[in-house]
Structure 1
């Protein structure tokens, strides 16, 4: 009986599937340049139409030929497991949770490179001319277990997947629960171009020392924490998961970077393209999103019910159970475990921010902000569970913005002090409010924390040292009522009033973005370490003056957080990018970090601040009896005047400071891949700007991020 029409592309009247021998086939594995040496000696398996198995090894050029097998199509697979026991691949194979089925083919593909720098497929392969059939394939086409491998990339010369399904439907080839392998046809030579198994990962320094690279990169990662994880199905998956929508955390790591795509969108409202600096790495050294494979991992099976594990549950923390609404993500590679904590995003967040009562920090010393502490405790077990499974000595990098920065600080200190563990923590926070009292800060002094503040951001000024009370606070000449402000307005005594007990205090080495509006209208920003809190506290008073005083904590916090200068996308990220470009240009030209004109503008502003504080001290002195006036009665104010003098001295050093490469790139300074990564980053036109000093990209039309005059009048 003639063959059915649907079978004709694969069989013929002259070559039916039957128990007859006498045909041959050959095949070759090559990289994108047409070279097969990368796959030389690789073990293969072939199953013919009668189910007969043939095993062999490719020759040194990645070639093999079979003769006298049963007639008809055959199935080719490469299932040989990777055999070494002393490297990172073996660590992934042997780990207790989610051991990966890594094949020798996967390791070989990870050692090849793309012909095109962007990872797009080439139109033609030199080996194609010698092929009877030519297919563009990926490792997942040739192995049984592929949940840990990246999604298929677009391709023109696809293997005939429906041929594989047809053979399975007819009962030909190997018995298998899932379709795997590539169908080869008799009396033909087939060339299989294996797509390189490479990934992109954000370059991160693991040095304690502050560097401009981490400043920019972690600003992007902190912003990504505001996105959903993006997994479908979100809960209770049955056989597979995917990440169709972006921006999302899952799509960023599992699909875009794993698929060698240069992702740039880390916020749904983002318009400007801020590309991370990426390095090209073997796929197994990417930031991992764990596989979902119920066949391999019992914990993935739907029968586990509420205890079922899947990527969203392992990598993404979204606390609804305890009502804290805390959100964070975690991922890792061979050198870094990255934890990013979300900032204020909704009503529950604002109420938690407003809860400024202090409670004991049970995992260390001192007291912490109660709202931040509850959020930290809610996510602590989630983080420890992940670290228990996947920590193998990596540097633990933690970042967070706003509320997320405060929680990140408590988390970092809690992990640093975790019993029977020795985590090496590095913390970067952006626009974070104070999280603990002075005893907490002293107890956490060994924690490496780089605290980034945008000058226009009012949030780092809260909670004020007096915000652990709703009682009246008497200062010379004024009464401050937090819960019910006087008609004249809420008067801030930030950093200058000491109550019973220890006041709130910032932790970490402050790095401060000083905004400057140059005479030509250019917006610029200088990153420096001022050494006093009046500068950042001024932003809070300015925000209140612009937006009006509010009568309760919750509304106050909401007001501050909604201030545009607190935004990552139009505030911190542009300033961090401008700093990285400024430092790169300074390194290249052997120049200084500030121009003479910038120094003059900032120094004049600091001088004005000093004068304002001195005048305020005189006004307060007038309210005291003549025999009680003097320096000792206004010591906090006087100390702040002195700190401003020190700040001016620190600014002076920027005029002469010469950067080292490590100031810019940290531990990646000597990396052999740094120049390649920079070359990729500079292909984007924006990153090639050659201003004398990189300026901040212009903000949207709403004026967010606009530089303002430095002014701290009426701070008390």
Structure 2
């Protein structure tokens, strides 16, 4: 019989023109170690050239053999759905929306492991004796693949054109989607199934601050400036892809889903900063939801503006409605992660400049109107996602600059939804004040770790002296900034108030204090100073970098270019240095601050206290004769007392001994911690041996996509 004979019409409903039997085929599924035990008992389906279907199960070694089949090649599939009782898989298959068609094959492949940590090996011991050897993926052998990772490169891929040829000739399964692997007759074929594993960035779900979250969430706060990267971005028809690197979609749906380590969170990034990744079964990754109009009616293109697709579900970009707020959201079985972008456009800058206070409708107190408008635009998007995928996970929110202010309002808004019982954890970086003192008091129960870089001017705004309208605060801001003096910038305790409650920071401040050691090493110590004047001194430094008498345009330019506010040039290196310092301190059981570092910082704090005392004397000399001055001295005295307590906290750092939970939080006792650290330390950038884990020098081109226009620096 030749190939032309197989193209002839069917004689009946079940048999083609050529109905010769007598061929056989055998096959074996193995993992990367060459063992077939992982696939023992797995149900399979084979379609032969006559359209006959054969069902069976692999034996304990992953082997099956069929004899006396119709002549010609056959198509092998493993499409039976998972029927086990493991709760995570059952939940994914039965959830209200985007139920996943998880097969028995997928479940088995998720329990296998890589030999080369994600890379294919060329010499599998299980391929002998075999007539043919293929390196396959789960998606090669099942029908529905939209939820599965992209194909990884391999030297032994099955030929896709063979499957199409079989379909064109009318062989194989009568399905509209090509699926399965073609096996040739009278051959024994070994199929090595790639482990279905993913890399998942490690996060602590503890309330307690830890160096792991400090570093990891700094990376995600920076990633929020990137595009989602979906192609096509809108109105997809049958499939989507995520080729743009870096982008949110490429990171989660591409590289990490394919077990590839990724380090770029900024298009202009040069310095490599790798997250700490844990190796997890694919179904426990940070998920980007599938797109398959055949399976999910909400994905169908004919829905037009109501069509759902990954970019619409995971990525919020409100440019068309005027707020230009941007954020992304993703989740796994333990964490829902939300990252909110900071200032990145003129629209952001105009919103930042709107310092009018408005009632916080989802709680108590008042909020900065510009930040509040952005929060309200984001709120519905987040709630819609949580309604579908929140099953008790810890909600971890992060944001930088303006994004940190919006993240605070979002976190508090979610926490106040009593019936939802959302458990929120918040980390912000360089965030300005977002609410008044009543709002801050009402949000006291919210766990918020507020990260401030020493010379970042943004956290010192809006200052407590700012009134509710721009016409009142702008002249005061220009006057104050135009004549900075050592004492004049220590106003943060609320020396000037014009009606209403003052703006006030929320959360526990974690402050990067940079120092230069005698050998020229640049370092940074993270601590909790507990006083506002340390932040205010950062703005003083920002201004003095460019001169003492700036014009208004020059002032804005100075602040937007000031690199201490940027993520990839400042916050991320400082967070990395803190993680390395704390790791080394934990390993050596030594002090968190050396004697020399303590002396340098203590001298700086002593100078700062003298400036505050000088300011108090200046106010006393210039007060009117009938003014007893108590209203001026009281906030200054309180700030001087807080500064004294800051020096005591610094003193305590000399004797503090770290525990593993200080560094890694809830991950401290996890079985995967050591393998994850081994992977992280395999990169030379993470093997710094310096006692102080010095901050990597920033590059001129590493300022990232932070704020090209950052008026929130002075609002």
TM-score (norm 2): 0.93
Q: Equivalent residue of 2:545, what SS?
A: helix
Aligned match of 1:405? 404
Contact 2:269 2:702 in 1 (8 A): no
Change (3 A) 1:147 1:607: same
Give the secondary-structure state (helix, strand or coil) at the position aligned to 1:183: strand
Per-residue deviation, residues 280-339 of structure 1 (Å, max 9, x unmatched): 000000000000001000010100010000000000000023201000000000100000
Q: In the TM superposition, what are the counterparts of 1:260-409 in structure 2 within 5 Å?
A: 260-409=259-408
Shift of 1:481: 2.9
What is the match of residue 144 of structure 1?
143
Equivalent position of 2:179 in the other structure: 180
| 1:12 counterpart residue number | none
**Cross-structure match for 1:713:** none
Look up the match of 2:686: 687
Paired residue secondary structure (1:648): helix
Is 1:482 paired with 2:476?
yes
Deviations 1:342-399 (A, max 9, x none): 0111111111111111000000010000000000000100000000000010000000
Note if contact 1:350-1:558 (Cα within 8 Å) is conserved in structure 2: no
Gap change, CA 1:487 and 1:222, over 3 Å in 2: closer
| Structure 1 alignment gaps of length 5 or more | 8-15, 474-478, 706-716
Aligned match of 2:12:
none
Deviation at 1:486, TM superposition (A): 8.4
Aligned to 2:189: 190
Aligned in 2, Cα 1:471/1:589: closer, same or farther, shift over 3 Å? closer
Q: Kindly tell me the number of residue pairs found equivalent between the two proteins.
A: 691
Partner of 1:11: none
Name 1:710's counterpart in structure 2: none
* Superposed CA RMSD: 2.3
Question: 2:493 aligned with 1:495, yes or no?
Answer: yes
Q: How does 1:393-472 map to 2 (within 5 A)?
A: 393-469=392-468
Equivalent position SS for 1:411? helix
Question: Aligned partners of 1:17 and 1:43: how far apart in 2?
Answer: 30
Counterparts of 1:537 and 1:421, CA distance in 2: 38
Are 1:82 and 1:103, in contact at CA under 8 Å, matched by a contact in 2?
yes
* C-alpha distance in structure 2 between counterparts of 1:69 and 1:17, whole Å: 15
Contact 2:467 2:499 (8 Å CA) reproduced: no
TM-aligned CA distance change 1:27 to 1:488, over 3 Å: closer
Contact 1:432 1:460 in 2 (8 A): yes
RCO comparison, higher one (Cα < 8 Å, 6+): 2
Question: 5 Å matches for 1:12-23?
Answer: 18-23=18-23
- 1:684 to 1:167, Cα distance in 2 relative to 1, 3 A: same
Bigger mean CA deviation after superposition, 77-86 or 401-410:
77-86
SS at match of 1:580: helix
Query: How far is the alpha carbon of 1:17 from its aligned partner?
Result: 8.4
Q: Distance in 1 between matches of 2:556 and 2:190?
A: 64
State the shift of 1:101 in Å: 0.3
1:180 counterpart SS class: coil
Counterparts of 1:229-268 in structure 2, within 5 Å, are 229-268=228-267
Instruction: Give the match's secondary structure for 2:295.
Output: coil
Shift of 1:489: 3.9
**In structure 2, how many angstroms separate the alpha carbons of the residues matched to 1:487 and 1:297?**
57
Structure-2 change in CA distance of 1:389 and 1:470 (3 Å): closer
Distance 1:72 1:703, change over 3 A: closer
1:77 has 2:71 as partner? no
Q: Which runs of 5+ in 2 are unaligned?
A: 8-15, 705-715
Give the Cα–Cα distance (whole angstroms) in 2 for the partners of residues 623 and 17 of structure 1. 109
- 1:38 corresponding residue in structure 2: 38
Whole-angstrom CA distance in 1 between matches of 2:600 and 2:172: 78
Cα 1:656–1:424 change in 2 (3 A) is same
Equivalent residue of 1:452, what SS?
strand
Please give the secondary structure, in 1, of the residue aligned with 2:200.
strand
Q: Give the distance between the partners of 2:335 and 2:95, measured in 1 at CA.
A: 17
Question: Per-residue displacement from partner, 1:594-643 (whole Å, max 9, x unpaired)?
Answer: 11000000000000001111111111111124675566641111111111
Give the whole-Å Cα distance in 1 for the aligned partners of 2:571 and 2:481. 35
CA deviation after TM superposition for structure 1 residue 178, in Å: 0.8
Give the equivalent residue in structure 2 for 1:113.
Answer: 113
Q: Distance in 2 between matches of 1:462 and 1:188?
A: 73
Whether 1:87 aligns to 2:81 is no
Equivalent residue number for residue 667 of structure 1: 666
Which residue of 2 is the match for residue 604 of structure 1?
603
Separation in 1, partners of 2:114, 2:643: 54
- Offset at residue 561 of structure 1 (A): 3.6
CA distance in 2, matches of 1:675, 1:238: 44
CA distance in 2, matches of 1:202, 1:406: 24
Q: How does 1:638-677 map to 2 (within 5 A)?
A: 638-677=637-676
Aligned: 1:509 with 2:508: yes
- The answer to whether the 8 Å contact 2:356/2:470 transfers is no
Counterpart CA distance in 2 for 1:429 and 1:412 is 11
> SS at the partner of 1:234?
coil
Per-residue deviation at 1:546?
A: 3.2
Deviation at 1:110, TM superposition (A): 0.3
Give the equivalent residue in structure 1 for 2:711.
none
**Per-residue Cα deviation, 1:419-455 (whole angstroms, up to 9, x for no partner):** 5211000000000000000000000000000000000
Alignment of 1:529-544 (within 5 A): 529-544=528-543
3-state SS of 1:450 partner: strand
SS of alignment partner, residue 659 of structure 1: coil
CA distance in 2, matches of 1:425, 1:498: 33
Q: Distance in 2 between matches of 1:157 and 1:390?
A: 38
> Match for residue 572 of structure 2?
573
Deviation per CA, 1:81-117: give whole Å up to 9, x if none.
0012451001000011100000000000000000112
1:24 matched to which residue of 2? 24
Seen in structure 2, the aligned counterparts of structure 1 residues 17 and 698 have a Cα distance that, compared at 3 Å, is farther
Report if the CA contact (8 A) 2:93-2:100 is conserved: yes
Counterpart mapping for 1:32-71 below 5 A: 32-71=32-71
CA distance in 2, matches of 1:106, 1:471: 59
